[in-house]
Amino acid sequence: MAAGPIVPPGYRVTVLDEVGSTNAVAFERAEAGEPAGLWIVGRRQTAGRGRQGRAWVSETGNLYSSLLLRDPVAPERLGELPLVIAVSVHDAVADVLPPPARAGLQIKWPNDVLYEGSKIAGILIEGAVSRQGRVVVVGIGINCRHHPDPAAYTATNLAALGYPTEPDILFERLAARVATRLEQWRDSPFAVLREAWIARARGIGESITVRLPNRTVHGRFETLDEAGRLVLRLDDGRRETISAGDVFFG
């Protein structure tokens, strides 16, 4: 029997050949009483989903994974988690790139990881309240061999860039990086992770468009505030702080 991927102490991993959604399986395990620290990895997803209910079939060859957490921090700090995970994913992908290639890797607010402007990884964080307390599931997909062709943005994958990487190898780097950053987040002020995110960001100081649920706003991306929200200098000179939205450059 082949050994599974290696995860850091305190974590466990279940690998499934085919799964509807790794996030959904993680929630099912949480309802059954599974402790925090469980990774679900799917070789193929048939009902993967993203923000705003976007769905797709996820073919074999990419990394599809979800991490089960329970009450990771105080509820008022949960808005920081997408940025913490984005830094972790950036670090993991950088680990499998040669040093000269790492400069092309950036984070688009709040948590899409891009390579030279094309999406290479996505994150979906979902929460629920179970009988045992608050559950948070962190879903992470990284394009190793395939990528979708959505109309709204360009995408790429590691193989297409010339850096073919097996999902299991990348997962081990991801699990290690997530464990390190989560520990740092719990033990240090968020300012430390905020600075790490800013150092990896795309678009700070540039003009951007942010699509909100009920309107679209334009302005200059000034910075992140202390809670990780996007600070936008509007075209009329006012500043607006944004907690959630889709960012477009140019």
Give the amino acid at 142. Answer: I
- What percent of the chain shows pLDDT beyond 90? 84
Residues 211 and 153 in one domain: no
The count of domains in the chain is: 2
Q: Are residues 232 and 191 in the same domain?
A: no
User: Mean pLDDT across the stretch 202-211?
Assistant: 96
pLDDT for 50 equals 55
Cα–Cα distance measured from residue 85 to residue 83, given in angstroms and rounded to the nearest whole number: 5
**How far, in Å, are 56, 101, 104, 198 from residue 98 at the CA level?**
31, 6, 11, 22
Please check whether residue 6 lies inside any domain of the structure: no
* pLDDT above 80: residue 118: yes
As given in the structure block, the two tokens for residue 207 are 């003009």
Q: What is the mean pLDDT of residues 199-218?
A: 96
Verify that 132 and 232 share a domain, yes or no.
no
Q: What is the pTM of this model?
A: 0.93
Q: Are residues 213 and 158 in the same domain?
A: no
In eight-state DSSP terms, residue 73 is S
Cβ-based neighbours of 54, under 8 Å, separated by 6 or more: none
| Domain around 139 | 12-199
Greater confidence (5 vs 1) lies with 5
Higher pLDDT, 2 or 244: 244
What tokens appear for 52 in the block? 């705003």
User: What whole-number distance in Å separates Cα of residue 106 and Cα of residue 196?
Assistant: 11
Write the pLDDT tens digit of every residue in 59-110.
Answer: 789 999 999 999 999 999 999 999 999 999 999 999 999 999 999 999 999 9
Identify the CATH number of the domain in which residue 227 sits: 2.30.30.100
Q: What is the DSSP letter of 80?
A: G
Q: Using alpha carbons only, what angle is made at residue 43 by residues 37 and 46, rounded to the nearest 5 degrees?
A: 105
Q: What is the structure's pLDDT at 1?
A: 37
Same-domain status, 237 and 149: no
SS3 49: strand
Mean pLDDT across the chain: 92
SS3 assignment, position 195: helix
- At 3-20, the pLDDT tens digits run 689 999 999 999 999 999
